[in-house]
Each structure stands twice: as C-alpha cells, then as structure tokens.
Amino acid sequence: MSRQRALRVAIIGAGMSGICMAIKLLDGGIDDFVIYESADDVGGTWRDNTYPGLSCDVPSRFYSYSFRPNPDWSRFMSPGPEIHRYFRQVADERGVTPHIRFGSEVTAARFEDKRWWVSTPDGEEAFDVLITATGVLRVPRYPQIEGLDTFAGPQFHSSRWDHSITLPDKRIGLIGTGSTGVQITAELGGKVRGLTIFQRSPQWVYPTPNLRYRAITRAALARWPALNKLGYRFWQTYIENTLGRAAVEAGLNRRLMALSCRLNLRMSVRDPELRRKLTPDYHAMCKRLILAGHYYRSIQQPGVHLVTEAIDHVEPRGVVTADGVLHELDVLVLATGFDARAYVRPMSIVNDSGVTLDEVWEAGPHAYRSVAVPSFPNLFMLMGPHSPIGNQSLVLIAENQADYAMWWINKIRNGEIIAASPTDAATKDYNEQMKSAMPQTIWVTGCKSWYLGKDGLPELFPWRPVRHRELLATPDVSHFEVRTA
C-alpha cells in the first residue's frame, strides 16, 4: 500500500454511469475525485426526462446496478421517477454525493504535463485521470419545420416537459413516434381532450405488458436478497439471448421477435386502415425496437388521431399537413429525439499535441473497445462510441466500462505506469473488425434511425453483448502505448 501514489480522478456527469464510476473508485480505496455535474441534481436522463408515461423498457431487476439490487421496484419495468429516486438514493448511501459539484459545467479538458486540466467557469483543476460519463441521448434534437416558432400555444421538447400545463382539457399535438412518443401516447391516449399524433414512420412494437409487483413479492425480495440476484441473472440471460442476439445475428430469434411484433399489431388493431398506417415497411429491430404494453390500445381511444400525412408547416393555431388540413392544437410536444453523436460535445477535449477529440472524430466517433481513444492518455469513456446500447442494459455496460477504467487506474496508482492510451493500430484493427461485422446486423437493413452514423453504418456494437463484456474483462496491454516516466 505504501508504494501507492495519490491519484486524482475527474468524472464528468453524475448520471447512472458517473455514479457507477464513483462507487468503483470508492470501493477501490480512491476518494480523491470530483464529479462535475452541470445540473443541480443527479440522474442524467432520468432527471431530464419527466414526460407523462416515462418508464424504462428494460426489466427493473436488470436495470439496476448488479451490486445494489432494489426489492422495491413497483413494476416489471420501472417508472422514470422511481429510477431517478434509486440513483439519487444509491449516490447518497454510497457516499458519492459529497463528491459532486452541482451546477459546474465542464467547458474544456486538456492533457498537459501528464495531467488532465479540467476547465469550468470557476477555473481550472488538474487530475491524473479523466472519465467522461455524459450519457448518450442528452442533447435534444429540434425539428426543422417551417413556422414552428409561430405556434401560439406552449411547445416543448419531450425531455423538457412543461409541468405547469394542465393536460386533460387540451388538444395536444405530438410529433414523433419513437420510444418516447409511444410512451406519451400510451399514457395520454383517451385522457386528454385531443391527442393528434404526427407519425413520419410507423414503428414495430414488441408486446411488453408492464405488470405491478405485488406487495408480497416485494416483501419476499427484501427478505431473501438471493431472489433479487436470481431475477437479475434471469433477465440478463433472457435479454442477452433474445434482443441481444436477434439484433446482430440472423436466425430463429430474429424471426420470432419479428413475428411477435406482427402478431401484436394484427391482434391489437382490428381496423385494417389503421393497421395499414401502423405497419412499417422495414424489419422489426432495424430502428430501436419499441417495447410497450398498451400503445395500440391507447391509439384507438376516442380523441386520438393518427396523422400520417407529412407536416408542411406550423402556424399559430396548429400544424398544417401536406394535404392542406389544419390540425388545431393547444399544446405541441416535440418527441423528435436526440443528437446521438453529441457524446462529450460541445466541450472541447484536447490532447498534449493540441489535437481535439472533435478533429479525431471528424469522420464519426470511434474508439478502442468503446472506452479509450489513441493519443488521449488516461481518458476513459463510459457509454463511448459503439457501446452495445442497442441490445443491452446500459447499467451493465457502464459497470463493465467502469471496471475496465479501474484496471488502468490501479496500474497508475501502483506506480507501474504514468499514462496509457490505445495504439492507433489496435484501434484501427478493432474498428475494421466492427465494420466488417455490421452487415450481419439488423440495423443496416434499410431503415433510417438515430443509430446510423455519417457513413451510413450503425454506431453500435455489432456483436452479442457478452462479447463486449469479454473484450473489457481482459485488458490487452500490447494494444496500449504506455508511458512509464
């Protein structure tokens, strides 16, 4: 222990991944770290998204830290506010919160004199290791629609919900039918004066009822924690062998999932015209699969209108579609998604040669095994480029990536190395392997989605999630350029 050197770590972001990294540091005996958080609360995506019907679509037992099961989840898939409370509670009980600097936005970080210099409006501080935990879908994407800003009523992005507005008496326009739009529809359909859904592309919906856990089940899970662990393993195995596999390998799994979606639509929507409008012309899972229980039921409620005509423009009274029809509205909700290529942007990350991450990523974000970038020593990313976010629970991905970062952090702390970054050759080789595996994935089968990068290829991990875990479990030092003095 005496040979260990003092080490300072900076984490950017106090969402699910940043909290996870902090716990790993504390468990490893490192308490000299700062978490920079631009907002005034933890929780990242679960803090920002508060729209009606917000819920996770990964089973609760599996969408938890593996080291902190929660017997109290109220449903099979947890409602958003519960998940937010969980992360806040874990941060408090594990001693993470005192390390967080709320309201402190990192504007830049540069590597100089073997250290990372992190800048905020309050000044600059030096660290040995920099961890980015800024999430994936953080920056809202606003649609380019003529006249949008002339709309007379309130309008907001789904991740910036205006809770001052009462909903039941309103005619609400909803642009977007991704996971968010579907959850909002499932919640509001039939409960508001009017809900007009502007659908540009229909979605495949995998039937996933969200049942409540009974009090007796929750009590049993609290009494016997092993049951919780069993539940975690069960859902991990299930997801990794259904969606985890079907998205990246053709075969029976893929066909069964597609069939379930088709049957769901067929059995839930009797009106052939509505069914036609809701039938996608691409393969299930090509876009992010929607997992929902009662979307189709809600869309058939009185007062819900599905509009498939393209939007022409917006005027003060509502949305005008290409057929010249004015859809009069009181409120306009933009469930139009996020800029998935933002990563750490707009902050600038600069290495000791003066090269920015933006320059390195000009052709598209890429990394070594999703966690590190050549020539950017001691920088580790959680949920970095090509993480398996299309077919795995993000919580487990964060844990695996944080463990990987810890492996290198321990080497630095033990004085074995001063800095490490992956070699160009290893990173290039890894990215080429990924590129040649992409054609087997469902994501390239002819749909448009936020998964696709500038080159038309998915910015996702093209193999089964277990492979990502294996790649991170055994760091390969020969793939790294290591500085020892």
Contact call for residues 19 and 148 (beta carbons, < 8 A): no
Q: H-helix or E-strand containing 431?
A: helix 424-437
347 binds ligand NAP, rule: CB under 6 A: no
> Shortest Cβ distance from residue 310 to ligand NAP (Å)?
8
The single residue among 57, 187, 240, 459 that binds ligand NAP, judged by CB under 6 A, is 57
337 binds ligand NAP, rule: CB under 6 A: yes
56 binds ligand NAP, rule: CB under 6 A: yes
313 binds ligand NAP, rule: CB under 6 A: no
The CA distances from residue 225 to 70, 91, 147, 231, 232, in Å, are 9, 20, 55, 10, 11
The single residue among 53, 178, 388, 465 that binds ligand NAP, judged by CB under 6 A, is 178
> Shortest Cβ distance from residue 13 to ligand NAP (Å)?
17
> What does the DSSP 8-state code read for residue 378?
T
Q: H-helix or E-strand containing 112?
A: strand 108-112
Q: Which segment (198-206, 248-256, 363-371, 409-417) binds ligand NAP by CB under 6 A?
A: 198-206
Residues 430-449 that bind ligand NAP (CB under 6 A): 448
For β-strands 123-127 and 115-120, DSSP reports them as antiparallel
Residues 117-156 that bind ligand NAP (CB under 6 A): 137, 143, 145
- 178 versus 244: smaller Cβ distance to ligand NAP: 178
Q: Which residues touch 122 (CB under 8 Å, ≥6 apart)?
A: 104
The single residue among 245, 254, 288, 468 that binds ligand NAP, judged by CB under 6 A, is 288
Q: Which residues touch 164 (CB under 8 Å, ≥6 apart)?
A: none
> Shortest Cβ distance from residue 59 to ligand NAP (Å)?
11
If binding means CB under 6 A, how many residues of this protein chain bind ligand NAP? Answer: 26
Q: H-helix or E-strand containing 467?
A: helix 465-473
The single residue among 201, 242, 260, 300 that binds ligand NAP, judged by CB under 6 A, is 201
179 binds ligand NAP, rule: CB under 6 A: yes
Tokens at 39, concatenated: 């907002």
Residue 372 burial (C-beta neighbours within 10 Å; 0-12, 13-18, 19+): buried
Q: Which segment (33-41, 51-59, 299-307, 411-419) binds ligand NAP by CB under 6 A?
A: 51-59
Contact call for residues 455 and 363 (beta carbons, < 8 A): yes
Footprint on this chain of ligand NAP (rule: CB under 6 A)? 55-57, 137, 143, 145, 158, 175-181, 183, 198, 200-201, 288, 311, 335-338, 448, 450
